[in-house]
Amino acid sequence: MKDSDDPADPNPAASSGDVDGGDAIDRDADTGKASSDPATDRPVSTVGTHQSAASSLFNSFPSLSRIMSVVVLVMVIIAVGLLFYKVMAGFFVPLFLAVLLVVIFRPVHMWILHRMGNRPRTAAAITTGLILTIVLMPLLLLVVVAVGQFASVLKQIDAGSLKRAIERGREQTALAVPHPEYFRRLDEIVIRLQSSEPQHIETSEVLQAKDILGSLQNDESISQSARDAATPAAVSAAESLDELLSEIKGWQNREFDDPVARSYVEDLDLMARLQQLSDDAGSKTRRWMQEILGGSIWGPIRLAANLSDDEIDRMILSTRDTLQPWFVQFTSRTGGFLVTLGIGILIMVISVYFFLIDGPGMVHTLMRLSPMDDNYERRLLMEFDRTSRAVVLASVLSALAQGVLAAIAYFFLGFSGSVVLLFLATTVMALVPFLGAASVWVPCVVWLGLVERQWGQAIFLLIYGTLVISSIDNVIKVFVLHGRSQLHPLLALLSVLGGVGVFGPIGILVGPMVVVFLQTLLEILNHELAKGDFHIRPSDGADETTA
C-alpha cells in the first residue's frame, strides 16, 4: 500500500510539503508576519509567541518584595557580623593559636584516635593534655626562669661595674686616651672659644688651653709617632692662642685706661678681630687634638668614648629616669596582664579540645554556609594547612633548633647565669627575617672579646654561630618544606614587622600567613577571570537567536 492511500494521511501533499511549510513558518517568524497553517489553512500570528516568551522572561526575575527582603537580610547579616566581630575580636589570639596547634598536631591526634578505638572525646582529651605537656608547660617555665635571670642581671648592673666594663672596652678597642680629663677640658675651652662672645672670653681659659696643649704635646705616655704627626698643628695652635691672648689683654687695657676716648667704630673693629682670632684659635686647637688622637675620623670617636665618671653617672641616671615610668606602668599592669594571660590560655586549651572533636563538622558547616565555590574553599583549607606547616612549623622548629644550639654554646662560654634568658632571646629573634639569631650571639661575641678579653672564646663563638647556629635554619626549612616555595625574604620581613605592629607578638606567625592567603585569593580570582564566564561568546548569541 502506498503512502497516498493511507487513511491517516488525508492530505498527501501537505505531508510531502512539511519541510517546506516549516521553513516558511520560520521565514515568516523571522520577518514578524503572519503565516498560514498548512493543515488547517488558517493564519497563525507570531506576535503571540513573542509576547509569551517575553512574559516568561519577566516571570523569571524575582519580585520587588523578594529583592527588598534579600537586601534587608544582607544588611542585618552585616550588622550582626560586625557585632560578632567586636565580641570575638578579643579572643583572636587564643583561637588562632588553638587552630595552629590543632593543624600541627593533627597527625598525632589521628594516631591516638585510631589507638583509642575511634573514641573522639577520649582522643581529644589525650591530645590536649599532650599539647599542654609538650608546648605550654615548658614555655611557661622558661618564661618564669628567664624573668628571674633578667632581674638578676639588672641587680648586678651598677655604676661601678658599668664603668669598669666601659674601661675594658676602651682598652680592647684602642679607644683609651692618656689623660682623658685634659682632653675633655681642652674640648670645653675650644667650644667656649667658638661659641662665646669675645668680651666673655677669659684670659685664664686661654692660658689653661695653652698649658694643656704644651703638656700633652710633650707627654711621653702618648706615642712618639702621634706627637710627631701633631707637632705642626701644635705650633700653629700655640701661636694662635698667643695672638688671641695678646689681643684680649690689649683690648682689656685700652677699655680700662680710657673707655671714652675710643670711638664706636674702633670698638666694633676690635670685637670683630677678637671674634676672628677666637674662632681661628679654637679651630687650630681642635685640629691639633684630632691629629694627636689619630686623625679627623678616629680622633673624635676616641674623644667621645672617653666619658668622665660624672658623665657616666648622669647617663645612668637619665636612663633610669626614662625607664622608671615604664617599669612602674608595667608593674601596675602585671596583675591584669596575668589575669588576661590566664584567661587566654584557658580559652586556647578549651578551643583545642573542641576543635579536635568537632573540627570537621565546623569546617563542613562553614563550607555549606559560604557562597564560595567548594573547590575554592577546599583550596583555601589546603593552603591554610600547608602554610601552617610551612610558615609555623618550619619557622618554629628552626628557631628552637637555633636557640638550643646557641644555649649550649652560652652555657660553656661563661653565660650560664643567663643561659635561659639568652635562649629565649635567640629563639624569638630567629623568627625575624634578616636579623635572626645572629642579633643575639654577635653581641655575645663582642662582650667576650672586648669586655671579658676572652678572644679565644669569642672567635670560637663567631665560627660556631656562623657555621652551625645560623646555618641550621636552611637545613630544617628544606627538610620540612620539601622544596615547596617560600616567601621572598623582603616580603617575609615586611609581613613579620607589619604583623607584629598590628597583632602584637603573634604577628610573627600571622603576618606571613596573611600574605600567603592574599596570594591564594588572587590566584583564585585570576583563575575565575581566565575561565571567560563573564563574556558572551558570539556563537552562544547566535544559537540563542536561532532557537
In a domain, 45, yes or no: no
> Which tens digits make up the pLDDT trace of 503-521?
777 777 778 778 877 887 8
Number of domains comprising the chain: 3
Cβ atoms 291, 229 nearer than 8 A: yes
In a domain, 532, yes or no: no
Same domain membership, residue 329 and residue 301: no
Same domain membership, residue 241 and residue 194: yes
Same domain membership, residue 427 and residue 386: yes
In a domain, 328, yes or no: yes
In a domain, 53, yes or no: no
Same domain membership, residue 228 and residue 301: yes
Nearest partner of 300 among 165, 220, 187, judged by Cα: 187
Decide which of 484, 505, 540 is a domain's last residue: 484
Q: How many residues are given for the chain?
A: 547
Which residues touch 107 (CB under 8 Å, ≥6 apart)? none
Same domain membership, residue 125 and residue 94: yes
Q: Inter-axis angle of helices 394-412 and 438-446, to 10 degrees?
A: 10
Cβ atoms 175, 306 nearer than 8 A: yes
In a domain, 163, yes or no: no
In a domain, 12, yes or no: no
The Cα 274–Cα 245 span in angstroms is 10
Same domain membership, residue 314 and residue 296: no
Same domain membership, residue 300 and residue 179: yes
Same domain membership, residue 406 and residue 468: yes
Dihedral of alpha carbons 33, 37, 40, 45, sign: negative
Same domain membership, residue 215 and residue 95: no
Decide which of 343, 369, 395 is a domain's last residue: 369
In a domain, 222, yes or no: yes
SS3 at position 326 = helix
| DSSP per position, 81-135 | HHHHHHHHGGGHHHHHHHHHHHHHTHHHHHHHHHHTTS-HHHHHHHHHHHHIIII
Q: Round the average pLDDT of the chain to a whole number and report it.
A: 75
The stretch 450-470 carries a mean pLDDT of 86
Same domain membership, residue 287 and residue 339: no
| 132 pLDDT above the threshold of 50 | yes
Share of the chain above pLDDT 90, in %: 4
Same domain membership, residue 388 and residue 470: yes
Same domain membership, residue 468 and residue 411: yes
> Which tens digits make up the pLDDT trace of 389-441?
777 777 788 888 999 999 999 988 888 778 888 888 888 888 777 778 888 89
Which residues touch 306 (CB under 8 Å, ≥6 apart)? 170, 175, 176, 177, 180, 183, 184
In a domain, 79, yes or no: no
Which residues touch 206 (CB under 8 Å, ≥6 apart)? 189, 193, 241, 244, 245, 248, 281
- Domain encompassing residue 193: 174-254+263-307
- How high is the pLDDT of residue 463? 92
Cβ atoms 305, 170 nearer than 8 A: yes
Q: Where is pLDDT greater, at 518 or 165?
A: 518
pTM of this prediction? Answer: 0.56
| 172 pLDDT above the threshold of 60 | yes
